[in-house]
Amino acid sequence: MQQGYFDTAWSDVSGSPGWVGKLLLLTLVSLIPVFGWIVVLGYLFGWAREIAWGVRAPLPARIFGNVDGLLYSRGASVLVILFLFSLAPFLLSCLYEGVSDVGGSVAERFLNLVPVAHVATPMITLAASLIAVMFALVGSMRASIYGRLASGLQINRIWTMIRYDMNGLLRIAGMAALLSLAAVGVVLVLMIVIEGLGLLVAWIVSGGGAHVWPRGFGMALFAAFCVIASLCLCSALVSAMMVFATTIVVRALGHWTAQFDVAHWRGQDDPLPFEEAQSSRI
Protein backbone atom coordinates (compact mmCIF):
# COMPACT_ATOMS: atom_id res chain seq x y z
CA MET A 1 0.00 0.00 0.00
CA GLN A 2 1.36 3.42 -0.93
CA GLN A 3 2.15 5.64 2.05
CA GLY A 4 2.60 9.40 2.31
CA TYR A 5 0.49 10.41 -0.67
CA PHE A 6 0.77 14.14 0.02
CA ASP A 7 4.56 14.08 0.44
CA THR A 8 5.02 11.93 -2.65
CA ALA A 9 2.72 14.07 -4.79
CA TRP A 10 4.36 17.28 -3.58
CA SER A 11 7.83 15.87 -4.33
CA ASP A 12 6.72 15.00 -7.85
CA VAL A 13 5.29 18.48 -8.44
CA SER A 14 8.12 20.47 -6.86
CA GLY A 15 10.71 18.28 -8.57
CA SER A 16 9.36 19.12 -12.02
CA PRO A 17 11.39 21.73 -13.94
CA GLY A 18 9.57 25.07 -14.13
CA TRP A 19 6.63 23.78 -12.08
CA VAL A 20 5.69 27.24 -10.76
CA GLY A 21 5.34 28.64 -14.27
CA LYS A 22 3.31 25.62 -15.38
CA LEU A 23 0.89 25.98 -12.48
CA LEU A 24 0.52 29.69 -13.20
CA LEU A 25 -0.19 28.93 -16.85
CA LEU A 26 -2.72 26.29 -15.79
CA THR A 27 -4.34 28.93 -13.59
CA LEU A 28 -4.69 31.30 -16.53
CA VAL A 29 -6.17 28.50 -18.63
CA SER A 30 -8.62 27.60 -15.85
CA LEU A 31 -10.11 31.10 -16.04
CA ILE A 32 -11.62 30.19 -19.43
CA PRO A 33 -15.18 28.99 -18.69
CA VAL A 34 -15.63 25.20 -19.04
CA PHE A 35 -12.97 24.73 -21.74
CA GLY A 36 -10.25 25.87 -19.35
CA TRP A 37 -10.99 23.14 -16.82
CA ILE A 38 -11.33 20.55 -19.57
CA VAL A 39 -7.72 21.32 -20.49
CA VAL A 40 -6.52 21.43 -16.86
CA LEU A 41 -8.15 18.12 -15.97
CA GLY A 42 -7.04 16.48 -19.20
CA TYR A 43 -3.46 17.59 -18.54
CA LEU A 44 -3.34 16.57 -14.87
CA PHE A 45 -5.11 13.22 -15.24
CA GLY A 46 -2.87 12.43 -18.18
CA TRP A 47 0.10 12.94 -15.85
CA ALA A 48 -1.56 10.85 -13.13
CA ARG A 49 -2.24 8.11 -15.68
CA GLU A 50 1.50 7.87 -16.34
CA ILE A 51 2.41 7.22 -12.70
CA ALA A 52 -0.47 4.73 -12.43
CA TRP A 53 1.24 2.83 -15.24
CA GLY A 54 4.52 3.05 -13.34
CA VAL A 55 6.03 5.72 -15.59
CA ARG A 56 7.64 8.38 -13.40
CA ALA A 57 8.05 11.65 -15.30
CA PRO A 58 7.90 15.38 -14.43
CA LEU A 59 4.98 17.62 -15.31
CA PRO A 60 4.60 17.55 -19.13
CA ALA A 61 6.44 20.44 -20.74
CA ARG A 62 3.52 21.59 -22.89
CA ILE A 63 0.02 22.02 -21.50
CA PHE A 64 -1.56 21.83 -24.95
CA GLY A 65 0.89 19.19 -26.15
CA ASN A 66 -1.82 16.51 -26.41
CA VAL A 67 0.76 13.81 -27.05
CA ASP A 68 -1.68 10.92 -26.81
CA GLY A 69 -4.47 12.79 -28.61
CA LEU A 70 -6.82 12.39 -25.63
CA LEU A 71 -6.24 15.66 -23.78
CA TYR A 72 -9.66 17.17 -24.49
CA SER A 73 -11.75 13.99 -24.44
CA ARG A 74 -10.07 12.92 -21.17
CA GLY A 75 -10.69 16.30 -19.57
CA ALA A 76 -14.30 16.37 -20.74
CA SER A 77 -14.91 12.85 -19.42
CA VAL A 78 -13.48 13.74 -16.01
CA LEU A 79 -15.55 16.92 -15.89
CA VAL A 80 -18.73 14.97 -16.66
CA ILE A 81 -17.91 12.32 -14.04
CA LEU A 82 -17.23 14.93 -11.36
CA PHE A 83 -20.50 16.65 -12.19
CA LEU A 84 -22.59 13.47 -12.20
CA PHE A 85 -21.26 12.16 -8.88
CA SER A 86 -21.65 15.58 -7.27
CA LEU A 87 -25.36 15.39 -8.03
CA ALA A 88 -25.92 12.61 -5.47
CA PRO A 89 -25.42 14.66 -2.27
CA PHE A 90 -27.11 17.65 -3.90
CA LEU A 91 -30.22 15.62 -4.75
CA LEU A 92 -30.21 14.11 -1.27
CA SER A 93 -30.22 17.59 0.24
CA CYS A 94 -32.97 18.72 -2.14
CA LEU A 95 -35.02 15.63 -1.28
CA TYR A 96 -34.80 16.43 2.42
CA GLU A 97 -35.72 20.07 1.84
CA GLY A 98 -38.61 18.99 -0.38
CA VAL A 99 -39.96 16.60 2.24
CA SER A 100 -39.67 19.33 4.86
CA ASP A 101 -41.57 21.80 2.67
CA VAL A 102 -44.26 19.35 1.62
CA GLY A 103 -44.55 17.67 4.99
CA GLY A 104 -44.65 20.96 6.83
CA SER A 105 -45.88 20.39 10.34
CA VAL A 106 -45.23 16.64 10.11
CA ALA A 107 -41.50 17.22 9.51
CA GLU A 108 -41.35 19.81 12.27
CA ARG A 109 -43.04 17.44 14.74
CA PHE A 110 -40.62 14.68 13.81
CA LEU A 111 -37.62 16.96 14.37
CA ASN A 112 -39.04 18.10 17.69
CA LEU A 113 -39.73 14.52 18.83
CA VAL A 114 -36.34 13.26 17.61
CA PRO A 115 -33.79 16.03 18.30
CA VAL A 116 -30.93 13.89 17.02
CA ALA A 117 -32.41 14.26 13.52
CA HIS A 118 -31.17 17.87 13.50
CA VAL A 119 -27.62 16.53 13.73
CA ALA A 120 -28.11 13.34 11.74
CA THR A 121 -29.31 15.07 8.58
CA PRO A 122 -26.19 17.19 7.94
CA MET A 123 -24.00 14.24 8.94
CA ILE A 124 -25.74 12.03 6.39
CA THR A 125 -25.27 14.72 3.75
CA LEU A 126 -21.57 15.03 4.68
CA ALA A 127 -21.12 11.26 4.48
CA ALA A 128 -22.87 11.18 1.10
CA SER A 129 -20.59 13.96 -0.13
CA LEU A 130 -17.48 12.05 1.00
CA ILE A 131 -18.67 8.86 -0.70
CA ALA A 132 -19.46 10.83 -3.87
CA VAL A 133 -15.96 12.34 -3.85
CA MET A 134 -14.34 8.90 -3.57
CA PHE A 135 -16.44 7.49 -6.41
CA ALA A 136 -15.73 10.57 -8.54
CA LEU A 137 -11.97 10.31 -7.97
CA VAL A 138 -11.73 6.61 -8.80
CA GLY A 139 -14.17 6.95 -11.69
CA SER A 140 -12.11 9.78 -13.16
CA MET A 141 -8.95 7.70 -12.88
CA ARG A 142 -10.58 4.71 -14.58
CA ALA A 143 -11.90 6.88 -17.40
CA SER A 144 -8.40 8.31 -17.89
CA ILE A 145 -6.77 4.88 -18.00
CA TYR A 146 -9.29 3.25 -20.35
CA GLY A 147 -9.83 6.40 -22.40
CA ARG A 148 -13.62 6.21 -22.29
CA LEU A 149 -16.32 7.86 -20.22
CA ALA A 150 -18.26 4.63 -19.56
CA SER A 151 -15.32 3.18 -17.60
CA GLY A 152 -15.65 5.95 -15.06
CA LEU A 153 -19.32 5.26 -14.43
CA GLN A 154 -19.09 1.55 -13.57
CA ILE A 155 -20.27 1.71 -9.97
CA ASN A 156 -19.50 -1.92 -9.16
CA ARG A 157 -15.95 -1.78 -10.54
CA ILE A 158 -15.28 1.53 -8.78
CA TRP A 159 -16.59 0.14 -5.49
CA THR A 160 -14.29 -2.88 -5.83
CA MET A 161 -11.26 -0.58 -6.00
CA ILE A 162 -12.46 1.64 -3.16
CA ARG A 163 -13.11 -1.35 -0.90
CA TYR A 164 -9.62 -2.74 -1.55
CA ASP A 165 -7.91 0.35 -0.08
CA MET A 166 -10.50 2.69 1.39
CA ASN A 167 -8.10 4.06 4.01
CA GLY A 168 -5.68 5.28 1.37
CA LEU A 169 -8.43 6.88 -0.66
CA LEU A 170 -9.87 8.53 2.46
CA ARG A 171 -6.49 10.15 3.05
CA ILE A 172 -6.58 11.60 -0.44
CA ALA A 173 -10.20 12.77 -0.05
CA GLY A 174 -9.27 14.33 3.30
CA MET A 175 -6.33 16.05 1.65
CA ALA A 176 -8.66 17.50 -0.97
CA ALA A 177 -11.04 18.77 1.73
CA LEU A 178 -8.24 20.37 3.78
CA LEU A 179 -6.71 22.08 0.76
CA SER A 180 -10.15 23.41 -0.24
CA LEU A 181 -10.80 24.76 3.26
CA ALA A 182 -7.34 26.35 3.34
CA ALA A 183 -8.02 28.04 -0.01
CA VAL A 184 -11.34 29.43 1.21
CA GLY A 185 -9.77 30.68 4.44
CA VAL A 186 -6.88 32.42 2.71
CA VAL A 187 -9.20 34.07 0.18
CA LEU A 188 -11.59 35.34 2.87
CA VAL A 189 -8.76 36.81 4.94
CA LEU A 190 -7.20 38.43 1.88
CA MET A 191 -10.52 39.91 0.79
CA ILE A 192 -11.14 41.42 4.23
CA VAL A 193 -7.62 42.87 4.39
CA ILE A 194 -7.72 44.37 0.89
CA GLU A 195 -11.16 45.89 1.30
CA GLY A 196 -10.27 47.19 4.76
CA LEU A 197 -7.11 48.86 3.49
CA GLY A 198 -9.00 50.28 0.52
CA LEU A 199 -11.66 51.83 2.74
CA LEU A 200 -8.99 53.22 5.07
CA VAL A 201 -7.11 54.84 2.19
CA ALA A 202 -10.35 56.19 0.78
CA TRP A 203 -11.24 57.66 4.18
CA ILE A 204 -7.81 59.34 4.44
CA VAL A 205 -7.94 60.65 0.86
CA SER A 206 -11.39 62.10 1.44
CA GLY A 207 -10.07 64.23 4.29
CA GLY A 208 -11.09 62.16 7.30
CA GLY A 209 -14.49 61.08 6.04
CA ALA A 210 -15.97 64.43 5.06
CA HIS A 211 -19.00 63.42 3.00
CA VAL A 212 -19.13 66.54 0.88
CA TRP A 213 -18.71 66.94 -2.85
CA PRO A 214 -16.28 66.07 -4.34
CA ARG A 215 -14.58 64.28 -1.44
CA GLY A 216 -17.56 62.12 -0.53
CA PHE A 217 -18.01 61.08 -4.13
CA GLY A 218 -14.29 60.35 -4.49
CA MET A 219 -14.33 58.19 -1.40
CA ALA A 220 -17.28 56.16 -2.65
CA LEU A 221 -15.69 55.76 -6.09
CA PHE A 222 -12.35 54.68 -4.62
CA ALA A 223 -14.06 52.27 -2.23
CA ALA A 224 -15.97 50.72 -5.14
CA PHE A 225 -12.71 50.35 -7.05
CA CYS A 226 -11.12 48.60 -4.06
CA VAL A 227 -14.02 46.18 -3.79
CA ILE A 228 -13.91 45.33 -7.50
CA ALA A 229 -10.12 44.99 -7.45
CA SER A 230 -10.25 42.72 -4.42
CA LEU A 231 -12.91 40.54 -6.03
CA CYS A 232 -10.81 40.16 -9.19
CA LEU A 233 -7.67 39.41 -7.21
CA CYS A 234 -9.47 36.91 -5.01
CA SER A 235 -10.97 35.19 -8.05
CA ALA A 236 -7.50 34.78 -9.52
CA LEU A 237 -6.20 33.53 -6.18
CA VAL A 238 -9.06 31.03 -5.87
CA SER A 239 -8.25 29.69 -9.34
CA ALA A 240 -4.55 29.42 -8.48
CA MET A 241 -5.22 27.54 -5.25
CA MET A 242 -7.77 25.27 -6.93
CA VAL A 243 -5.24 24.39 -9.61
CA PHE A 244 -2.56 23.70 -6.99
CA ALA A 245 -4.91 21.57 -4.88
CA THR A 246 -6.15 19.66 -7.93
CA THR A 247 -2.57 19.01 -9.06
CA ILE A 248 -1.57 17.53 -5.71
CA VAL A 249 -4.76 15.49 -5.28
CA VAL A 250 -4.76 14.07 -8.82
CA ARG A 251 -1.08 13.14 -8.62
CA ALA A 252 -1.68 11.42 -5.27
CA LEU A 253 -4.61 9.60 -6.87
CA GLY A 254 -2.29 8.33 -9.59
CA HIS A 255 0.03 6.86 -6.95
CA TRP A 256 -2.95 5.26 -5.21
CA THR A 257 -4.08 3.67 -8.48
CA ALA A 258 -0.59 2.28 -9.19
CA GLN A 259 -1.09 -0.40 -6.52
CA PHE A 260 -3.69 -2.08 -8.78
CA ASP A 261 -1.05 -3.18 -11.30
CA VAL A 262 -2.52 -1.13 -14.15
CA ALA A 263 -0.10 -2.60 -16.69
CA HIS A 264 -1.98 -5.91 -16.44
CA TRP A 265 -5.51 -4.51 -16.69
CA ARG A 266 -7.62 -5.96 -19.47
CA GLY A 267 -11.12 -4.85 -20.50
CA GLN A 268 -13.13 -2.44 -18.40
CA ASP A 269 -15.50 -5.26 -17.35
CA ASP A 270 -12.77 -7.79 -16.54
CA PRO A 271 -11.56 -8.53 -13.00
CA LEU A 272 -8.56 -6.57 -11.77
CA PRO A 273 -5.27 -8.41 -11.10
CA PHE A 274 -5.83 -8.51 -7.32
CA GLU A 275 -9.29 -10.07 -7.87
CA GLU A 276 -7.81 -12.77 -10.09
CA ALA A 277 -5.12 -13.44 -7.48
CA GLN A 278 -7.74 -13.78 -4.77
CA SER A 279 -9.81 -16.14 -6.94
CA SER A 280 -6.82 -18.36 -7.64
CA ARG A 281 -6.22 -18.79 -3.90
CA ILE A 282 -9.77 -19.98 -3.27
List pLDDT tens digits, range 108-134. Answer: 544 455 554 455 566 777 788 888 999
Instruction: Please tell me the total count of domains within the chain.
Output: 1
| DSSP annotation of 272 | P
Q: Which residue in 1, 54, 44, 51 sits closest to 23, CA to CA?
A: 44
**Residue 1's pLDDT band (cuts 50, 70, 90):** very low
- The DSSP annotation for 82-130 comes to HHHHHHHHHHHHHHHHHHHHHHTHHHHHHHHH-THHHHHHHHHHHHHHH
In this predicted structure, the answer to whether residue 215 has a pLDDT above a threshold of 60 is no
Using the CB atoms, write b or e for 212-249: b if 16+ within 10 Å. eeebeeebeebbeebeeebeeebeebbbbbbbbbbbbb
What average pLDDT does this structure show over 2-14?
A: 84
In this predicted structure, the answer to whether residue 45 has a pLDDT above a threshold of 90 is yes
Can the peptide bond before residue 214 be classed as cis, meaning omega within 30 degrees of 0? yes
Please, is 44 exposed, middle or buried when counting C-beta atoms within 10 Å of its C-beta (0-12, 13-18, 19+)? buried
In this predicted structure, the answer to whether residue 180 has a pLDDT above a threshold of 80 is no
Mean pLDDT value across the chain? 81
The domain of 68 spans: 5-281
- Write the pLDDT tens digit of every residue in 79-115: 999 999 988 777 766 766 655 454 455 445 444 555 5
Please, is 66 exposed, middle or buried when counting C-beta atoms within 10 Å of its C-beta (0-12, 13-18, 19+)? middle
Return the pLDDT at 25.
95
Per DSSP, the three-state class of 268 is coil
Per DSSP, the three-state class of 53 is coil
Return the pLDDT at 2.
46
Higher pLDDT, 281 or 206: 281
**Residue 186's pLDDT band (cuts 50, 70, 90):** confident
Return the pLDDT at 195.
66
